[in-house]
Structure 1
Amino acid sequence: MIRKKSRREESLDCAELAGFLPAPGDPHLSLDRHLLLEEHLMNEIQSTAPVPAPSRHPARRVLLIGVPVTAAALAGVFAFTALTDSAGSDLGTATPPPVEAPVVRIEPGSTARLASTVEHIAAAASARKTPEPGPGQYIYIKSEVSSLTVSHTDTDKSKAWVQPLHIREVWNSPDGKQGWLDEPGYQPKGGVTLDSNVENSLNAPSYDYLKTLPTDPDALLKRIYKETSGRGNSPDQQAFATIGDLLGEELAPAKLNAALYRAAAKIPGVVVVDHAEDAAGREGIALAHVDQKSGDRTEWIFDPKTYAYLGSRGVQVKEAYGIKPGTVVESTAVLERAVVDARKQRPGAQGTRA
């Protein structure tokens, strides 16, 4: 009888095996190369998962937040030769390298003028003429955006890194079934489809759906709390974030816009910040709320004279995930909002601006 060796007997002792190998290197990579490797690793981890449709809203956080990875650890996961400096070729252009996040002075918020400020904003929204998109038309929104890329690297934990400010254009049909997103450097060249069969809700709204929402602030806020509860954040923060999404890349009827502002004023923790700046450098007054979990304050910024919505900003107010207070973790500016006659068409003679 031939006795087979056990697995234990067949295996080599790890220490003995290590003696035959050269000592591991200690690679020192540039920051750009380091972040590129991190991004590739995260893509490899997610490669077996179904690819979701691109979000209609700019992401508040990218997946790498709070996940600083050393170059040596990355080298142990995959071969360096699997990468080339042409990363981003799937997008048709190289993804721009991240830049150091700006840091601003944290201005305290106050509830002293909350009621009067919200009434000014709501009154301006009610008076503003909003175009009614018809069948076959699209709601077009052009923004300038930037969001957090990594909270810090393993070699420099004092800095956070964000995307360079860049243009993002979105087209959506009134029923929310057809759409297009063009975000050069961050989406495939020429853009990607936003076509969807997902049932409309506050988490996946459309213009037609928004028309069905109540315009009484109390009833509206009750519905928002009900439909967005249990999504990770506190109910108050989730309600504020949901309303913020509707302000940025959606077109809502004038009466609903006014109701959204009045509803937001009823959320505990909402304050007025007298000075804030959007991604385009426009200064304004802001309605703001602090996310106690992530430590950042979301600010909706309005023109101080016309009270028109300008954009938003996320400012870290308490340290979390290694992000220092005062760091601007995201910034947006709505540059144009209009109704156009075709997907990918930009406003002009045939477009109606909102």
Structure 2
Amino acid sequence: MDDLRSLREWRAEVPEPGHEWIISGRRRLLTRIRGRGRTLGRRLLVVGALGATAALAVATLRPQPPAPGPESTPSVVRLDSSVVLARAAEVAGKRRSAQVPLPTQWHYTKTLDKQPNSDTIETHEHWMRYDGMQAASFGEDGELVVGPEGDPRDPGDDDLTPQQYDAKLRELPTDPRKLLVKVTGDRHWIVGAREEGVPKRAEPANARAFRVIMLYLSRYGTMPPRLEAAMYRALALIPGVQIEQGVTDAAGRSGLGIWLESAIDRSARDYVILDPGTYRYLGQQRVWLRDEFPPGRSEPAFRKGAVWSTTLLSSVIVDRPGQRG
């Protein structure tokens, strides 16, 4: 049974579902339907060691106790988001610029996915040609299957090719406030514009800005260092952004969990997890803060404390499908 598919169906019957869940559930559902295993990541750059991580954490991260109440997560430590994001911007701004891949090169990703009601961790490997014209993945028989990507794309589809992500990135300003205006007003990222069965509604500006920036940080091609730094500074301007230390991805790696307080959905918390030293994307985690019941049922579909998590293990540019870099 596909828990995410079932939850999406139940959510469609419930008024005012959380935007965070709709996006993550929709992305996983589309991935399953297309059978590609594409989920996360554009090219990640190799980052050198940054020195004494422990000393850096003491100097830049000021722990704060979690607020009392049913949404507290005592296993993690709340941090000062303004300090963390300022440090992330500083580190990102010092990265090396990367060369733009050739249209005929391929983007390889390897991801993990752990469903909330299962101990099984699924592994997905996927190759996409940089111009988006072909994709490849392993079939059930273990053979690599290379086929057309299925262009032309729906103009409202948020599943962009690597080149399309690069083009959008190059349109973004490096001034944090102007960047927020740009990503908030880009109609390409409007929630529910194409999703059949999901009611259309206005997404709060801070929620859209947070969602789009985190998507860029997790799925970029050749992110300019100054732009990446601006994205972290822009996140610091969004009301409700919180950061916790000790949030783990599907591979068990501990990182910084960034999440946005929601006035709509308080039944779960959705984290984007960053490496605490490099501030690179590691994965995602969703934690249920209370039991969630499907309509008309007495048994919860997800109990309080259930966790769904993902991991990006590899994201590199290669010369041909099947190559792992």
Q: TM-score, normalised by structure 2?
A: 0.61
Q: Does 1:127 align with 2:94?
A: yes
**What residue in structure 1 maps to residue 217 of structure 2?**
247
Q: Does 1:138 align with 2:106?
A: yes
Change (3 A) 1:346 1:108: closer
How many angstroms apart in 1 are the aligned matches of 2:176 and 2:248?
27
**What residue in structure 2 maps to residue 304 of structure 1?**
276
8 Å Cα contact 1:297/1:315 also seen in 2: yes
How many angstroms apart in 2 are the aligned matches of 1:257 and 1:224?
14
Change (3 A) 1:199 1:229: closer
Matches for 1:67-146 after TM superposition, within 5 Å: 107=75, 110=78, 113-132=80-99, 133-146=101-114
Give the letter for the 1:346 counterpart: R
User: What root-mean-square deviation, in Å, do the aligned CA atoms of Structure 1 and Structure 2 show?
Assistant: 4.1
Alpha-carbon deviations, 1:183-238, whole Å to 9, x = none? Answer: 766x9973765443337789335223322222222112112211234545544333
How many angstroms apart in 1 are the aligned matches of 2:109 and 2:281?
13
Residue of 336, 342, 346 corresponding to 2:324: 346
* Higher relative contact order (Cα pairs below 8 Å, separated by 6+ residues): 2
Give the letter for the 1:247 counterpart: L
Change (3 A) 1:317 1:140: same
**What residue in structure 2 maps to residue 61 of structure 1?**
25
How many angstroms apart in 1 are the aligned matches of 2:256 and 2:207?
20
**What residue in structure 1 maps to residue 67 of structure 2?**
none
Give the letter for the 1:198 counterpart: R
Q: Does 1:284 align with 2:287?
A: no
Q: Unpaired runs of 5+ in structure 2?
A: 9-22, 36-71, 193-200, 294-299
8 Å Cα contact 1:301/1:310 also seen in 2: yes
Secondary structure class of the residue paired with 1:274: strand
Change (3 A) 1:288 1:230: closer
How many angstroms apart in 2 are the aligned matches of 1:63 and 1:143?
14
**What residue in structure 2 maps to residue 190 of structure 1?**
145
**What residue in structure 2 maps to residue 352 of structure 1?**
none
8 Å Cα contact 2:76/2:247 also seen in 1: no
Matches for 1:216-255 after TM superposition, within 5 Å: 216-227=175-186, 228-229=189-190, 231=192, 232=201, 233-251=203-221, 252-255=223-226
Q: TM-score, normalised by structure 1?
A: 0.56
**What residue in structure 2 maps to residue 313 of structure 1?**
285
Secondary structure class of the residue paired with 1:215: coil
How many angstroms apart in 2 are the aligned matches of 1:294 and 1:188?
43
How many angstroms apart in 1 are the aligned matches of 2:90 and 2:126?
27
How many angstroms apart in 1 are the aligned matches of 2:236 and 2:134?
32
Change (3 A) 1:303 1:64: closer
Residue of 308, 313, 323 corresponding to 1:335: 313
- Of stretches 116-125 and 320-329 in structure 1, the one that deviates more from structure 2 is 320-329
Change (3 A) 1:289 1:107: farther
Q: Which structure has the greater CA radius of gyration?
A: 1
8 Å Cα contact 1:182/1:192 also seen in 2: no
How far did 1:319 drift?
4.3
8 Å Cα contact 2:242/2:261 also seen in 1: no
Secondary structure class of the residue paired with 1:161: coil
Q: Unpaired runs of 5+ in structure 1?
A: 1-34, 43-58, 66-87, 92-103, 148-159, 348-354
How far did 1:240 drift?
2.2
Change (3 A) 1:144 1:105: same
Q: Does 1:170 align with 2:141?
A: no
How many angstroms apart in 2 are the aligned matches of 1:183 and 1:261?
36
Secondary structure class of the residue paired with 1:197: coil
